[in-house]
Chains A and B, each alone.
Chain A
Amino acid sequence: MTDLPVLTLSGITKTFPGVKALSDVSLSLFPGQVTALVGENGAGKSTLVKVLTGIYQPDMGKILIDGAPVIFASAIAASEHGITAIHQETVLFDELSVAENIFIGHAPCTRRGLIDWKTLNSKARDLLARIGADIDPNTPLKELGIANKHLVAIARALSVDARVVVMDEPTAALSHKEIQELYDLVDRLKAEGKAILFISHKFDEVFRLADRFTVFRDGKMVGEGKIEDTNSDALVQLMVGREVSQIFPNRTSVIGDPVLTVAGYDHPTEFADIGFTLNKGEILGFYGLVGSGRSEVMQALFGVTKPTRGVMRIGGKIVIIRTPAEAIQHGIVYVPEDRGAQGAVAGLPIFQNVTLPSLVRTSRKGFIRLAKEFALAREYTTRMDLRAASLNQDVANLSGGNQQKVVIAKWLATQPKVIIMDEPTKGIDVGSKAAVHSFMAELVAQGLSIIMVSSEIPEIIGMSDRVIVMREGRLVDELARKDITAEALIRAAAGIEEVTS
């Protein structure tokens, strides 16, 4: 092929406080070709999309269009250069019509500066017809399903005459039939000569659609090439093949009797037929792709969302948990993934955060006893090795890692039996990470049981006694400690058949 790339990234580096999200990344996109971008959660794919669409500015490196360097100062600048993105969750306006959504920001106007509705609607109709979408441009967007919203987003991409289309996991929320239609559309865009960057976790669609591939790992580009020269095994190798940079605590697990048994948990949209057992002194890992329903299952166990069916037993006895308060009474606590929204109460001091679920114990007849509160908070924050100026400090002023320690301290103070940890070390610094890990080891040694939801493969491998893998709201695999390998996890989570023959 003699085609020159439409768009080239070279040496792109983007650093956030404490994390190097992208490090010296290069990527070329060619007209009429689909380039698949694959990598684990947190490999830097989303950051790359944001650099491409002008939402983030890279710290270093160049973006070239047709060989000429450009700078995307804003999202508008990127779209003026013909780059458009279709996000996993489409960013559109529910209350506006389909046609308005397509032309928002560049609607055709009459001479008097008013919107030319006739042209707007007819142009929208043409665009929708071009991508084979059977949608009336006058329909309010909110009446469309996700698949049709994607089509509107694509029509919008075409309306600005985009040359580069970035698709960030566009099939994540689509049904089987809708996915087929999306594939046809991608083929059509290809035929029109668009350069497409297709981000996906699903290997079947990568091999169905892509001409080229690029693999990211830990913010670095670790491999690229033509899709016909590779296979799923090679890609998995590239995605995983990391040097183990983290050290996990050494521990010998002493696993006892079942503590928590769940059977037949169903939810109308998020998960189905969830059943598993958690034993005393065990760390049970839950692995899966983002959106596989892990957090939803955990929140159902904790009484936040309600399953439609299912039985929970704690120590053999059937319990019914309808609220987090009841879950806490039964000794189940939940360290949420979204620390800011669900974990720490910013605005309250550290000690009040710690004692919040334990107020009954620190008070007398409903009246607060500050000395007891400080004592309890001191005991557990010290165990967590918290770094803070004082216990009266607003928890909002702590670093992410220290906030997480406060949240964990809060739960330990309730003396739970089961701790559910949802992405316990997401977005926290390496030092705090190690502290959280060694603490988890200490807790199970004392006879607690931990369910650890994690998208980080090293963490799953380093910490779990057993792993359950979820895909699309179902349990698809269970691995004993000796069988936990990165390959097995990725295969199960992405639904790749074991290579036979």
Chain B
Amino acid sequence: MSLQDDIKTRIIPDRLNSRLSGYLKSWESLLVAVAVAVFIINSLSSPYFLDAWNLSDATFNFTEKGLIALAMALVIISGEIDLSVAGIIALASTAMGYALQFDVGTVGLVAIGLSVGALCGLFNGVLVTVMGLPSIVATIGTMSLFRGLSFVVLGDKAFNGYPTSFAFFGQGYVFWVITFELVLFAAMAVLFGILLSKTNFGRTIYAIGNNPTAALFSGIRVDRVKMILFLLTGLMSGLAAVCLTSRLGSTRPSIATGWELEIITMVVLGGINILGGSGTIVGVVLAALVIGMVTFGFGLLNIPGIVMSIFIGLLLILVIALPIVYRRVRKG
């Protein structure tokens, strides 16, 4: 067998399987099936489920968390994690409430919410990339720090009296039963989906998550990418803070308590590998829908909150175990 002949005759194909068969076998198609199943179970078990206005209300169960989950997905794919997102919501919301006494208008409030979120994200990014702290430790720290600052400012009081026009972000409808939040989430999902799957930046996130050293050795500015991802997560948390504050119409330091785990559950259920390196935005969006519908269904059936949290806990374990088992089966 001469080497030269071999080179001329042998051609390596781009792909072996068609893209379609890849889609059918994917985690995302499994999620679609789950979503459909939950939808059917819900509509059979409660007569109130299939009501446009009820369904519209139900979207609030996931839109704000989903906004953050989009950015969190990128952070987790890159092999990091951000546990401070709920803390950022508290601090950003507190900053907006604090600004009320200076007669800041709606535009100003949004700007404050977003910039506080971005600054918090930047702070996380500095801790992880410049100081070299493991992100799980750094953001456990900032999780308490951000919410702690909110407590210092508010104590057991609350900020009220947001301007009427500010209510649009959390309570407004764009068209019929379609809420502003749902439209915002959909738009952001498209943006993040494109960013992750269609751009060089997205590709580098996957490379870093799979092998940060080899990524660095391939000329990727790993620290800069991570910095941007933390900043983006902070910014999305700020955006979620705007929506949530607007929806509630008040700020307490306990706002969004425990959200970080629900968001991570959403991301992991969406098929993002908790160890980094793989997953898609489509999966995260589907997972957000599934969690939103399950929560809504539990609510309709008057299942108490504690059962809900047990369910979320079990779901988290199941979701981490399932992809591992699934991959093992597919490989074996």
Contacts and interface: CB of A to CB of B under 8 A. Distances in A.
Contacts of B219: 323-325, 327-328, 356-357
A250 to B, nearest CB: 16
25 contacts: A325-B221, A327-B219, A328-B219, A341-B211, A342-B214, A343-B214, A344-B214, A345-B207, A345-B210, A347-B211, A347-B277, A348-B210, A352-B203, A356-B219, A356-B220, A357-B220, A360-B200, A363-B200, A366-B200, A366-B201, A374-B14, A390-B12, A390-B14, A390-B16, A392-B15
Contacts of A327: 219
Contact of A435 (B3, B14, B278): B3
A385 B218 CA distance: 21
Interface in B180-229: 198-204, 206-207, 209-211, 213-221
Contact of A378 (B12, B199, B200): B12
A89 B211 CA distance: 25
B51 interface: no
Nearest to B206: A348
B278 A347 contact: yes
B13 interface: yes
B215 A345 contact: yes
B21 to A, nearest CB: 12
A198 B181 CA distance: 72
A336 B211 contact: no
Contacts of B215: 345, 356
A334 interface: yes
Given A324-B219, A368-B203, A385-B3, A341 B14 contact: no
Given A323-B221, A392-B16, A410-B218, A346 B210 contact: yes
Interface string A1-21: 000000000000000000000
Given A323-B221, A366-B201, A368-B200, A389 B214 contact: no
B193 to A, nearest CB: 13
Given A324-B216, A343-B217, A368-B198, A348 B14 contact: no
- What size tier do the contact residues of chain B reach? 20 to 34
A348 B277 CA distance: 8
Most chain B beta-carbon neighbours within 10 Å: one of A327, A346, A386, A392: A392
Interface residues of A, number: 41
A392 B198 contact: no
A414 to B, nearest CB: 8
A92 interface: no
B15 A391 contact: yes
Given A325-B220, A342-B213, A356 B207 contact: yes
A172 interface: no
A135 interface: no
Nearest to A343: B214
A347 B214 CA distance: 12
Contact of A359 (B14, B203, B210, B213): B203
Nearest to B8: A382
B158 to A, nearest CB: 44
Interface string B1-41: 00100110001111110000000000000000000000000
Given A304-B217, A367-B199, A368-B199, A346 B211 contact: yes
A287 interface: no
Interface in A422-441: 435
Contact of B12 (A352, A366, A388): A388
Given A341-B213, A367-B200, A389-B13, 20 more contacts: A324-B216, A324-B219, A325-B220, A327-B219, A336-B217, A341-B211, A341-B214, A347-B277, A356-B220, A357-B219, A360-B200, A366-B200, A366-B201, A368-B198, A368-B202, A378-B14, A382-B12, A391-B14, A392-B15, A393-B16
A364 to B, nearest CB: 10
B330 to A, nearest CB: 13
Nearest to A414: B219
Contacts of A374: 14
A10 B194 CA distance: 64
Contacts of A386: 12
A53 interface: no
Q: Which A-B residue pairs are the 10 nearest by beta carbons?
A: A347-B210, A328-B219, A325-B219, A359-B200, A392-B15, A356-B218, A345-B211, A357-B219, A390-B16, A357-B218
Given A342-B213, A342-B217, A347-B211, A390 B277 contact: no
A419 to B, nearest CB: 13
A418 B211 CA distance: 24
A385 B7 contact: yes
Nearest to A410: B218
B15 A390 contact: yes
A391 B214 contact: no
B12 A391 contact: yes
Nearest to B216: A324
A404 interface: no
Nearest to A411: B218
B13 A345 contact: no
Nearest to A335: B217
A389 B17 CA distance: 11
Contacts of A351: 14
A385 B278 CA distance: 29
A392 B14 contact: yes
A200 interface: no
Contacts of B277: 347
A60 B16 CA distance: 42
Contacts of A341: 211, 213-214
A415 B33 CA distance: 47
A103 to B, nearest CB: 32
B255 to A, nearest CB: 36
A346 B219 CA distance: 16
Contacts of B209: 347
B278 to A, nearest CB: 7
A470 B202 CA distance: 41
A389 B203 CA distance: 22
Contacts of B204: 356, 359
Contacts of B202: 368
Contacts of A385: 3, 6-7
A381 interface: yes
Contacts of B210: 345-348
Interface in B151-198: 198
Interface in A389-416: 389-393, 410
A71 B88 CA distance: 61
A391 B218 contact: no
Contact of A334 (B213, B217, B221): B217
Given A366-B199, A368-B198, A345 B218 contact: yes
A341 B16 CA distance: 27
Contacts of B3: 385, 435
A405 to B, nearest CB: 11
Most chain A beta-carbon neighbours within 10 Å: one of B3, B211, B219: B219
